[in-house]
Amino acid sequence: RLQFYREMAAMVTCKELIKKDVKLAKMLKQLHAQGYKLGLLTNTGRPLVEKILEALGISFETFDVLATSTETELKPSEEPYIYIAKKLGVPPQDCAYVGDRYEMEIETAEKLDMITIMLRQSMLEDSSKRGCSDYTISSIYEIPSLLKKVSAAQDKFKQNSFWRVTKHVQAH
């Protein structure tokens, strides 16, 4: 499998296809500096992920753990979600998962009782085809403000078991 991913990565010229995203890199660094543990879970092989992150201007050190299809089973299997949580040192229910596909990503995170954040790529998408997530955002850059709201709500309702601790974020 690794050989396949190496060959695929060699064929793709990410720097020509993907623009550097200084805003995203800064946001992830800030979340990490605030104490959030960050994991990246992707069905892409590690060699290509390395090229994509480099093109985006995001360093590996930004993430506490990377789980690619080189190391784990593919989503929607529960195995990579559990792998990430274990590597972060937290139970799955203490994680928030951000994804843009319900059946392929969010549904599995829900089964594991993770807090789910659906990244809705287009406001025109048919929401009836997506299922439900705990939260929906239209831009990845909304994550910090959403996490503040979730944390504030958790602090307010600490006595209730309804709210889960989410000082751990998995970004896709």
pLDDT of the residue at 5: 65
pLDDT in tens, 107-125: 999 999 999 999 987 554 5
DSSP state string for the chain: -HHHHHHHHHH--HHHHS---HHHHHHHHHHHHTT-EEEEE-SS-HHHHHHHHHHHT--GGG-SEEE-TTTSPPTTSSHHHHHHHHHHTS-GGG-EEEES-IIIIIHHHHHTT-EEEEE-S-TTS-GGGT---SEEESSGGGHHHHHHHHHHHHHHTTTSTTS----EEEE-
Predicted confidence band of residue 158 (pLDDT cuts 50, 70, 90): very low
pLDDT in tens, 66-97: 999 989 999 999 999 999 999 999 999 989 99
